[in-house]
Amino acid sequence: MRIVWCFLLLASHLQAIPQYYCTAADSGYFKPLMGLIGSIHESNFDDLGEIAVFDIGLKKEEISQLENIQKVRVYRVDTDNPDVLHFFYPPNARKTLGWYSWKPMVVKQSLDLFPYVLWIDAAATVLRPLNNLFESIVKNRYFLVTIGDERKADGSPVHSVDWQTNGFLREKFQLEKEENRWILSQDCVTSCIVGASREAWDDFVGDWFEATKDLRNFIDDGIPYGYGCARHDQAVLTLIAYTKKLTIFDQDFTQKNPIALGEDLFYITWHHLFVDAKTSVYSSRQDLRAVPYFSSRIRLNSF
């Protein structure tokens, strides 16, 4: 299979490989989701294979709207564990659906559908063609990138791995051992955008999915800095990536240092002040001003 896709890469100058996306949303994220879909339609429609939207609490009328959009399909999360789609309420913190344990399930389920996929959060915005990113995922099996955090005076990240990691994961990955303590000071790997091919199962997808069988991996237990710090699926992904010494690209939210995908440069940011004409992906959860515009770019099915 990988040989076939590598061959397709060689022919990519003639025809780009199909783009497969997956995301998930409930009713609270329906409007941002529509903005995401519209942004993909505007910038990547011709090369788009499918946007797989996983229902984690959408209303019937919202599902009907999605089913009327070109190149979009709605799926249910394949799980027998009711806690995965159950809200938890940690003290002094926001409610959390299944501790985000559904996200690795969605990625795994998507790879049952597609040979490769880009997970992207429902509140993100795609601003440029992503052909180079998908080609990189196929060629290198996966795409992982840091959250691109702000820095303290000493150069360390404001939100390090130490900040987001619960007590159960600390013991499981033996992070207090001298040979592992270095991980705690590293940048977190973002779970806002994650690229994976089927060949990445042994890299991280399999371990990430396996972790969903024990929700203690994802729980917010208030360790070490209080409730609300845990980053659930992101914490698990981060530890898998560092312990297995996977390739992790560094995100510079100021976009002064772009990500090199072969000969191509890839720009990503979460900060609204640094979004510009070269930005490919904007993690726009805190800035939804453009949602109405991009929602208007959605292409509906014609009957």
In a domain, 276, yes or no: yes
In a domain, 39, yes or no: yes
Write out pLDDT tens, residues 27-84: 999 999 999 999 999 999 999 999 999 999 999 999 999 999 999 999 999 998 999 9
Residues 120-139 have a mean pLDDT of 97
In a domain, 12, yes or no: no
CATH of the domain at 189: 3.90.550
In a domain, 301, yes or no: no
- What is the DSSP annotation of the chain? -HHHHHHHHHTTTTSPPPEEEEEEE-GGGHHHHHHHHHHHHHHHGGGEEEEEEEESS--HHHHHHHHTBTTEEEEE---S-GGGGSEE--TTS--EEGGGTHHHHHHHHHHHHSSEEEEE-TT-EE-S--HHHHHHHHHHSEE-BB----B-TTS-BSSBHHHH--HHHHHHTTTTSTTTGGGGGSBPBPSSEEEEEGGGIIIIIHHHHHGGGSGGGT----TTT-TT---HHHHHHHHHHHHTT---BPP-TTSSS-EEETTEEE-EES-GGG--TT-SEE--TT--TTHHHHHTTPPBP--
Provide the number of structural domains found in the chain.
Answer: 1
pLDDT above 80: residue 10: no
User: Could you list the residue range(s) of the whole structural domain that residue 69 is in?
Assistant: 18-295
In a domain, 268, yes or no: yes
Per-residue confidence at 151, pLDDT binned at 50, 70, 90?
Answer: confident
Please give the mean pLDDT across all residues of the chain.
Answer: 92
In a domain, 5, yes or no: no
In a domain, 4, yes or no: no
